[in-house]
Amino acid sequence: MSNTVFSLWILNKAGGLMYNRTFSEGLAQLTSNEQLVLAGTLHGIHAITARISPVPRSSGLEVIEAESFKMTVFLTATGNKFVLITTPSHPSAELLLQRAYEAYADTVMKNPFHTPEMPIRSEGFDLRIAQVMHPPK
Amino acid sequence: MAHPAPHPRTSLLSTGSSRPSSIASPPPTSPPSSIRERHPSTLSQLSVPLRRAPSLGYPTNLDRPLNRLKGAEVALGAWAFLYAEIVAYSQARVDGIAELERKLNTLGHRVGARYLELLVFRSEGMSKAPKRETRLLPVLHFIHTTLWKALFNKPADALEKSREAADEYMISDNTPPLTRSISIPSDLSSLSCEAFTAGIVEAVLDGLGFPARVTAHSVPAPGYPQRTTILVKFNEGVMEREEALGQGR
C-alpha cells in the first residue's frame, strides 16, 4: 500500500484559502473557484463538529477517513487550519503537518512582504514545503 | 589670596585652573555656544551641573564590561521578527526600491560603525602592540573572515575581484543569515534586504580608512537560492593611495 501525500491546504481564520498545493496525482481536478468553495465548506464543517461533539470543549474535526483518502486537519493555536490529504495508510500525517507549520512560522510569518491572512506567495515557503513533503535522501 | 586677580586683558588661558568660580557665572541654561566663542579652552573648567537620566533600577547591556558579552548570541527568530518589522516600516515611508535600500543601508551603517569599535577593542585593545590593516587586500580579508565570523559565526563564502572595474570587489555569502526568512516578491525582484549588511560593511570600511560605496545584489546559484553578493566600490582616493603604497615598497 503506497504512502502518498496528495495535497496540502492551508486555511486562514475566516475559512479563506491561503495555500493549496498538490504533490501527487490521484485526486479530482478542481477549478480555483471550487477550491475556494470547498475550503469555506471545510471551515464551516470544522466549526460545526466542534459544537455537536458529545465531549465538551472539543477542538473540532481532526481526521476524516474514507476508502481512498485520509484528510488530517491540524488546528493551530491562532485559528489557522493545516489540512493534509493522503492515502488512508499514511503513518505520519500529523508529523508532516507539524513540519509544515514550522515552515510556515519560519518563512511566512517572518517575511515582511507577506500580509497576514492573505494568500501565501513566497518562494521560501514553497521550497521548505517541498523539502518537508519530499525529503532529500 | 595667593593669586592676584588676573589683568582684564590677560587671556584666561594663562590663569590655568586657579579660579574656576570666576567663570561659573553663566547659569546652566544659557546657550553654551556663546561661552565657547569667548573662552573655548576653559569650557572644561565650567562647573555646569550635568543632568543625569533617571536610573532604570537595573543594569542594562550598556553598563556591562565590554568583554563580558563577547561571543554572546542573539536568537535568529527574534532578529527575524525585528528585521521584518524594520523592513515593513521603512517600506511604508519610501518611494521606491532604491530609497528603501538606502534606508536599510543607513541603518546598517549605524550598526557597523559601533561594531567596528567593539571588535577592534576586543581583539587588539589589550595587546601591547595593537595592529591595524592599512592595505586593501588585508582589509578585505579582515571583512571576509574576521567580521563575518564575529557577526554570523561563519566566514563569508567568496572574495572576488571584479574583472570589469579595478576598484570593485565582491564578497559573497551563500546563505546570508540576516535575511534567511525573507522572500522577495517578484514585483520587487531587484531589491535585496541584505542592504543592511552592505551598510555594516560600508561603515566598517569607512572606519578602517577605506571609504567605499557598498551595495548588495541577489545572485541565486544552483543549490543556494538566497546567495547574495556584497559589491564594494572603493573611492578614488583609496585606489590612488593603494597604488602609491604599492610602488613605494
Tallying the residues shown for chain B, one arrives at 249
Look up residue B45 and give its three cell numbers: 573648567
| pLDDT value for B59 | 78
Q: Cβ contact (<8 Å) for A112 and B91? A: yes
Please, which residues 219-238 of chain B have a Cβ atom closer than 8 Å to chain A?
225
CB-based contact A111:A124 (threshold 8 Å): yes
Which of chain B's residues have a Cβ under 8 Å away from the Cβ of A124? 181-183
Span A25-84, pLDDT tens digits? 888 889 999 999 999 999 999 999 999 999 888 888 999 999 999 999 999 999 999 999
Residue of A nearest to B188 (CA): A113
Residues of B within 8 A of A112 (CB-CB) are: 83-85, 87-88, 91, 182, 193
| CB-nearest partner of A125 from B183, B185, B193 | B183
Inform me whether the C-beta atom of residue B184 falls under 8 Å from chain A C-beta atoms: yes
The whole-number pLDDT of residue B48 equals 65
Chain A from 87 to 126: CB within 8 A of any B CB: 106-107, 110-114, 121-125
> Distance, in angstroms, between B81 CA and closest chain A CA?
6
ipTM: 0.86
What's the rounded Cα separation, in Å, for the pair B107 and A135? Answer: 38
Q: How confident is the model at residue B24, as a pLDDT?
A: 42
User: What whole-number distance in Å separates Cα of residue B70 and Cα of residue B199?
Assistant: 22
Cα–Cα distances in angstroms (integers) from residue B162 to residues A41, A51, B218, in the given order: 58, 66, 16
The C-alpha cell that represents A8 in the structure block: 496540502
Model confidence over A105-131: pLDDT tens digits?
999 999 999 999 999 999 999 999 999
pLDDT at residue number B5 = 55
Q: Using a CB cutoff of 8 Å and minimum separation of 24, what contacts does B128-136 make?
A: B132/B208, B133/B208, B134/B209, B134/B245, B135/B242, B135/B245, B136/B210, B136/B234, B136/B238, B136/B242
* Residue B83: burial class (beta carbons within 10 Å; 0-12, 13-18, 19+): buried
How many Cα neighbours within 13 Å face the side chain of B36? 3
Nearest by CB: A107 against B83, B85, B183: B183
| Mean pLDDT, residues A83-89 | 94
Residues of B whose CB is below 8 A from A129: none
Residue of chain A with shortest Cα separation from B80: A110
**Residue B51, pLDDT score:** 65
Task: Report pLDDT for A98.
Answer: 95
Beta bridge partners, A21, equal A8
Q: Residue B215 CA to chain centroid, in angstroms? A: 16
Q: The C-alpha cell of A54 is what?
A: 458529545
CB A99 within 8 A of CB A90: no
C-alpha cell at A83: 489540512
Per-residue confidence (pLDDT) for residue B52, from 0 to 100? 64
Q: Which residues of chain B have a CB within 8 Å of the CB of A110?
A: 77, 80-81, 84, 181-182
pLDDT of residue B31: 46
> What residues form DSSP beta bridges with A20?
A9
What backbone phi and psi angles, to 5 degrees, belong to A13?
A: -60, -30
- Å from A106 to nearest chain B CA? 6
- What is the per-residue pLDDT for B23? 41
Is B181 within 8 Å of A110 when comparing Cβ atoms?
A: yes
Read off the pTM: 0.79
Task: State the pLDDT at residue B1.
Answer: 43
Please return the burial class of B235, using the count of CB atoms within 10 Å of its CB with bins 0-12, 13-18 and 19+: middle
**In this complex, do A113 and B81 lie within 8 Å of one another by their Cβ atoms?**
no
Torsion sign, CA atoms B124, B129, B135, B138: negative
Contact between A124 and B182 using a beta-carbon 8 Å cutoff: yes
Range 7-66 of B in CB contact (< 8 A) with A? none
And the C-alpha cell for A99?
513540519
Question: What is the pLDDT tens value at each position of chain B, 249 positions in all?
Answer: 445 555 545 444 444 444 444 444 444 444 444 444 444 455 555 566 666 667 778 877 777 777 777 778 889 999 999 999 999 999 999 999 999 999 999 999 999 999 999 999 888 888 888 888 899 999 999 999 999 999 999 999 999 999 999 999 999 999 999 999 999 998 898 999 999 999 999 999 999 999 999 999 999 999 999 999 999 999 999 999 999 998 875
Kindly state whether A72 is in contact with chain B, defined as any CB-CB distance less than 8 angstroms: no
pLDDT at residue number B58: 82
Closest by CA position to B213, among listed B223, B222, B228, B203: B203
Strand ranges in B74-146 using DSSP code E only, listed in sequence order: none
* Per-residue model confidence (pLDDT) at position B123: 86
Report pLDDT for B66: 76
What cell was used for B128? 601591547
The pLDDT score that the predictor gives to residue B47 is 64
User: Looking at the complex, does the CB of residue B182 fall below 8 Å from at least one CB of chain A?
Assistant: yes
